[in-house]
């Protein structure tokens, strides 16, 4: 990826040698020179972990599959309540929110769909320096609120690990 976080050198950018936004090379020129122009090693990498297989794993176990139905069950209960009273008596979780209910009524979220939340954060590994390492996660909202934030249910998505690794390696 671009060291300035502009692009990832994949898909339509896979053929590029420099970032089209900041004109920065993607490879480490010191290594290229040391290997007589034979080895192009990226300056920075961004490792991704696909969400699809992780969600599929929730459905392989019968207890976990039952837990994944929590959101759908609650949504149906709320829709029934709205049909009877035209208002909700209790707001317990995100699925009681106006935007979510509207999205379900429009048919954009259907039974069997997974409702994920994407979260990202950077961490500062040195004092007085901008974030060096970025970590991205998925939180699966199909699970009940007492389960969705537990470690085994928070799914890793991406890590800007090369920068983290370089910083840790040079600090010892």
Cα–Cα distance between 152 and 16 in angstroms, integer? Answer: 38
Residues of the chain falling short of pLDDT 50: 162-172
pLDDT at 170: 47
Which tokens belong to 64? 């976990």
Pick left, alpha or beta for residue 40 (phi over 0 → left; psi -120 to 50 → alpha; otherwise beta): beta
Beta-strand (E) ranges in 37-126?
47-48, 116-123
What pLDDT, on a 0 to 100 scale, did the predictor assign at position 169? Answer: 46
* pTM of the complete model: 0.69
Report which of 74, 86, 136 is spatially closest to residue 111, judged by C-alpha positions. 74
Identify the pLDDT of residue 126: 65
The answer to whether 93 touches 142, Cβ cutoff 8 Å, is: no
What are the two backbone dihedrals, phi and then psi, of residue 31, each rounded to the nearest 5 degrees? Answer: -70, -40
């Amino acid at each position: 990826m671009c060291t300035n976080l502009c692009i990832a050198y994949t898909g339509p950018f896979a053929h590029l040698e420099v970032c089209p936004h900041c004109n920065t090379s993607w490879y480490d020129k010191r290594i290229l020179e040391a290997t007589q122009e034979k080895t192009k090693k990226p300056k920075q990498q961004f490792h991704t972990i696909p969400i699809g297989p992780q969600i599929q794993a929730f459905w392989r176990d019968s207890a976990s599959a039952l837990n994944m139905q929590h959101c759908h069950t609650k949504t149906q209960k709320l829709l029934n309540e709205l049909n009877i009273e035209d208002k909700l008596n209790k707001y317990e979780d995100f699925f009681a929110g106006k935007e979510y209910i509207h999205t379900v009524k429009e048919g954009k979220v259907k039974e069997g769909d997974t409702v994920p939340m994407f979260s990202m954060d950077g961490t500062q590994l040195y004092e007085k320096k901008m974030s060096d390492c970025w970590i991205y996660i998925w939180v699966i909202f199909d699970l009940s609120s007492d389960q969705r934030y537990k470690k085994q249910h928070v799914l890793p998505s991406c890590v800007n690990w090369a920068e983290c690794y370089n910083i840790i390696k040079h600090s010892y």
